[in-house]
Structure 1
């Protein structure tokens, strides 16, 4: 049930990020147009939170099997071939996601050693790369578990 607990944490984090994005945008719009005082760093906050939201949602989409699929011919193939193609696609997707994770962890290490920070607010960037790497690994695992656990 670790996967279920992880899913609950991701759902809570996604909801929190979405709420924070709405708050930042709302405060910025009210400040900009009604008070002539925009929220300082709002654009950068939005960029960082939106990136984090995409990575937090990725494992949830993989777990639910809700990725966009185009299956023009698959329905006409025998069930065994459909199953083999599904397993092949899940394996290739997992390998690509693991490569993304490897790349993001490398980026995280570089950013950590260089002390990379965002331009306006000075937010450390390494944790965002780490989040992306963990999300890609979780997505790969969830996708494989989902496909290989079918009857």
Structure 2
């Protein structure tokens, strides 16, 4: 935000920061991909809960484990092919057009972030399988998905308006 403000004032003064747009485009990878494992940890990704939300006990944990395993397969494919894009940029020395900013650092962040997400999914899979085997155990390493009403109640209580 500070750099953007500086860019605006420099532009108004007639001296824009060279390569600002290209550097901003490269930085998008940081914001777009590095937060996915964090969001996975808290169950913040969009998901369809119509079937799984209606189940309980072992069936629920089994369905969650199957869904997590499918996500792991997809992420494994994305890691493999995003690594190819990074490696090609590294080998060729790919740069941006105008200012020659190397593109490989931002292209490396994609398979790196997907790898962190894969590790998070692995922990989650182990947690779901544990709950499948021992349904009465406390949930560990799995997101607890709450209804909209439960979520609103938690927010209200954390703001000082609840119990």
Q: 2:27 aligns with which of 20, 44, 49?
A: 49
Q: Does 1:69 align with 2:47?
A: yes
8 Å contact from structure 2 (residues 29, 109) kept in 1 = no
TM-score (ref. length: structure 1): 0.75
Give the gaps of 5 or more residues in structure 1: 1-21
Which residue is equivalent to 1:3? none
- For residues 148 and 65 of structure 1, the distance between their equivalents in structure 2, rounded to whole angstroms, comes to 16
TM-aligned CA deviation for residue 133 of structure 1: 0.6
8 Å contact from structure 1 (residues 63, 139) kept in 2 = no
TM-score (ref. length: structure 2): 0.70
8 Å contact from structure 1 (residues 94, 143) kept in 2 = yes
Give the gaps of 5 or more residues in structure 2: 132-163
TM-aligned CA deviation for residue 49 of structure 1: 0.9
Which residue is equivalent to 2:96? 118
Which residue is equivalent to 1:40? 18
Q: Does 1:28 align with 2:7?
A: yes
8 Å contact from structure 1 (residues 95, 140) kept in 2 = no
- For residues 129 and 49 of structure 1, the distance between their equivalents in structure 2, rounded to whole angstroms, comes to 10
Bigger Rg over Cα: 2
- For residues 50 and 118 of structure 1, the distance between their equivalents in structure 2, rounded to whole angstroms, comes to 14
TM-aligned CA deviation for residue 143 of structure 1: 1.7
Which residue is equivalent to 1:105? 83
Between Structure 1 and Structure 2, the one with more helix by share is 1
- For residues 111 and 63 of structure 1, the distance between their equivalents in structure 2, rounded to whole angstroms, comes to 31
8 Å contact from structure 2 (residues 52, 60) kept in 1 = yes
